């Protein structure tokens, strides 16, 4: 049994707390809202975020210092835009060296940094190599009901990855390890761009053919960008790559798909984000990936099209026309070139 603090009591932090509690761990779920902590502790529910009863071993805290006292692991699950703020507070209050795990899927637009890089920059006693990421096809709504789910954990420090695998694995939550930290984080972040696109496609009334094309050509874009940043192309064929793309692009559980669906139906971005009331990571990640692709001359036509819809007020239908009428080409041409470069190195 371990003492584990989970920072972020949204849908994913709550679902991961259930997995940890089912495994017999003492779980401290931290929220910055006192009212939410009171709800969890008095009724064993967190109704705004997850429609399930919570195990009693989950104790909620609104005091960060108390939540992290004497824990052997801290799981960070706030949205990317809150990572620096939460980690800077954590850095001030942490007096020992528990394993740091994150399950956040995003990239910081201004710096184009991955979440593990942001965490290590804010945490003075941790190196980037120590941080662990947990990612893969995993909707909180299904994990909360103990439906079969598989994820991957990765860290440059392989002992930390194995410790995290042991912490979470159980009969309904299967955990693999991987040594490709960069690929695992990028796969989880970049799939949200394509999921927004899949939602838009469904919102426009396009069919399964269009969605299959988005998923497959989206995977090509993700792989190009990922490999250029040092990821293994094989990672994108695994759970944090194509696995997460499928689950996010095809499910109405997905916040990114749902936001895209509303955009496809003609709603404005600001209204959509207000209506969602939860993290829609793909919006900021589109900005980051589009900027990086432009700077590095990486071809990402779907990401670029989505960027035009989100930030330049372009009509989704016009972007689809633009994508369908690009110049003729061979399907695997540029992707093969990227992958060969990786193997030659």
User: Would you please indicate which residues are annotated as catalytic (active-site) residues?
Assistant: 191
Computed over its alpha carbons, how large is the radius of gyration of the chain? 20
Which tokens is 96 given?
């020992």
Q: In this structure, is the dihedral angle defined by the CA atoms of residues 59, 73, 1 and 96, taken in order, positive or negative?
A: negative
Count residues binding ligand G3P (CB under 6 A).
13
Query: β-pairing, 99-102 with 73-76?
Result: parallel
Query: Is residue 14 a contact point for ligand G3P (CB under 6 A)?
Result: no
Query: Is residue 23 a contact point for ligand G3P (CB under 6 A)?
Result: no
Q: Is 22 annotated as a binding residue?
A: no
Interface residues toward ligand NAD, by CB under 6 A: 8-13, 31-32, 49, 77-80, 82, 85-86, 103-106, 138-140, 278-279, 281
Cα angle value 41/104/95 (rounded, 5°) = 65
Tell the burial category of 297 from Cβ atoms under 10 Å away from its Cβ (0-12, 13-18, 19+).
exposed
Answer with the entry of ligand NAD, ligand G3P, none that 195 interacts with (C-beta below 5 to 8 A by kind).
ligand G3P
β-partners of residue 7 are 30, 76
Residues 6 or more apart from 221 whose CB is under 8 A from it? Answer: 190, 194, 299, 300, 301, 302, 303
- DSSP type of residue 170: B
Site string for ligand G3P, 54-93 (x = CB under 6 A): ----------------------------------------
Name residue, tokens 């972020």: 8
Which tokens is 52 given?
């399930």
Q: Is 252 annotated as a binding residue?
A: no
Pick out residues in 249-268 that bind ligand G3P (CB under 6 A).
254-256
Q: Is 10 annotated as a binding residue?
A: yes
Q: Is 244 annotated as a binding residue?
A: yes
Answer with the entry of ligand G3P, ligand NAD, none that 77 interacts with (C-beta below 5 to 8 A by kind).
ligand NAD
- Determine the Cα–Cα distance for residues 226 and 316; give it in Å rounded to an integer: 26
* C-alpha separations of 21 from 7, 16, 135 in Å: 15, 9, 19
Site string for ligand G3P, 189-218 (x = CB under 6 A): ---x--x-----------------------
Query: Is residue 232 a contact point for ligand G3P (CB under 6 A)?
Result: no
Stretch that binds ligand G3P, among 34-42, 121-129, 217-225, 241-249 (CB under 6 A): 241-249
Q: Which residues are annotated as a binding site?
A: 8-13, 32-33, 49, 105, 136, 138, 140, 191, 244, 254-256, 281
Q: Which residues are annotated as a binding site for NAD(+)?
A: 8-13, 140, 255
């Amino acid at each position: 049994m371990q003492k584990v603090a989970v920072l972020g009591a949204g849908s994913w932090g709550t679902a991961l707390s259930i997995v940890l509690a089912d495994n017999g761990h003492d779980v401290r779920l931290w929220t910055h809202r006192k009212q939410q902590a009171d709800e969890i502790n008095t009724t064993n529910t967190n109704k705004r975020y997850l429609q399930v009863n919570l195990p009693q071993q989950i104790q909620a805290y609104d005091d960060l210092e108390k939540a992290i006292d004497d824990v052997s692991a801290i799981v960070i699950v706030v949205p990317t835009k809150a990572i620096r703020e939460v980690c800077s507070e954590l850095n001030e209050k942490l007096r020992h060296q528990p394993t740091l795990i994150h399950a956040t899927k995003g990239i910081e637009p201004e710096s184009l940094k991955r979440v593990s890089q942001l965490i290590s920059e804010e945490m003075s006693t941790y190196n980037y190599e120590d941080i662990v990421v947990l990612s893969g096809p995993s909707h909180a709504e299904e994990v909360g009901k103990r439906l079969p789910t598989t994820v991957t954990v990765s860290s440059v420090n392989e002992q930390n990855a194995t410790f995290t695998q042991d912490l979470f694995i159980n009969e309904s939550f299967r955990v693999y390890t991987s040594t490709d930290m960069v690929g695992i984080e990028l796969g989880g972040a970049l799939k949200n761009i394509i999921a927004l696109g899949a939602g838009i496609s469904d919102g426009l009334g396009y069919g399964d053919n269009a969605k299959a094309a988005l998923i497959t050509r989206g995977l090509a874009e993700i792989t190009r960008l990922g490999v250029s940043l040092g990821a293994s192309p094989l990672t994108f064929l695994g759970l944090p790559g194509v696995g997460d793309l499928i689950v996010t692009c095809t499910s109405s559980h997905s916040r990114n798909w749902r936001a895209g669906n509303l955009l496809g139906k003609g709603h404005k971005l600001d209204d959509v984000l207000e209506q969602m009331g939860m993290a829609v990571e793909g919006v900021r990640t589109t900005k980051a990936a589009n900027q990086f692709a432009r700077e590095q001359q990486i071809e990402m036509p779907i990401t670029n099209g989505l960027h035009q819809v989100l930030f330049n007020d372009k009509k989704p239908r016009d972007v689809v026309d633009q994508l369908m009428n690009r110049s003729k080409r061979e399907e695997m041409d540029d992707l093969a070139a990227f992958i060969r470069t990786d193997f030659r190195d």
